[in-house]
Amino acid sequence: MAEISTINARLDAIQYLAENCEPFYTLQSILGRFPDIDWIISMCVQLPKEDTEQRCEMRLNYVIALKNTLELLDPLANTLETPTNPLLASVRGVSHISSLPLSQAITLHQM
């Protein structure tokens, strides 16, 4: 069960977004473009039994999808530059991931 402090932090974040519509709609737009990151990563690292042209193309598409997802981190961090809410401001810390090599970004995501 979640601790009271965690619940209160989440409620404060919701209240901040309810009172500040512009960041809310921007976040909604950005987060709506995020695919299932865990699934994409698992597809990128999965080793097929045999490499066919079709499977290679699919794996390349998964890597491109992962790259596109990582590119969403900067707009997300930029949107969260001004919030005074500590929970929302803490999300900004992930923005440095998009500038890392792909292998390091995947490792950090899995932590």
Q: Average of pLDDT values for 62-85?
A: 84
pLDDT > 70: percent of the chain:
79
> What pLDDT is stored for residue 29 in this prediction?
93
* 95 band by pLDDT with thresholds 50, 70 and 90: low
> What is the average per-residue pLDDT within 3-11?
89
Tens of pLDDT, residues 51-73 = 889 988 998 999 999 999 888 88
Q: If pLDDT is split at 50, 70 and 90, which confidence band does 1 have?
A: low
The terminus-to-terminus CA distance of the chain in angstroms comes to 22
**Residue 104: which H helix or E strand, with range?**
helix 102-110
The number of beta carbons lying within 10 Å of the beta carbon of residue 66 is 20
pLDDT above 50: residue 88 = yes
Residues 95 and 65: their CA atoms lie apart, in Å, by 18
Q: What is the pLDDT of residue 93?
A: 63
Q: What is the pTM of this model?
A: 0.62
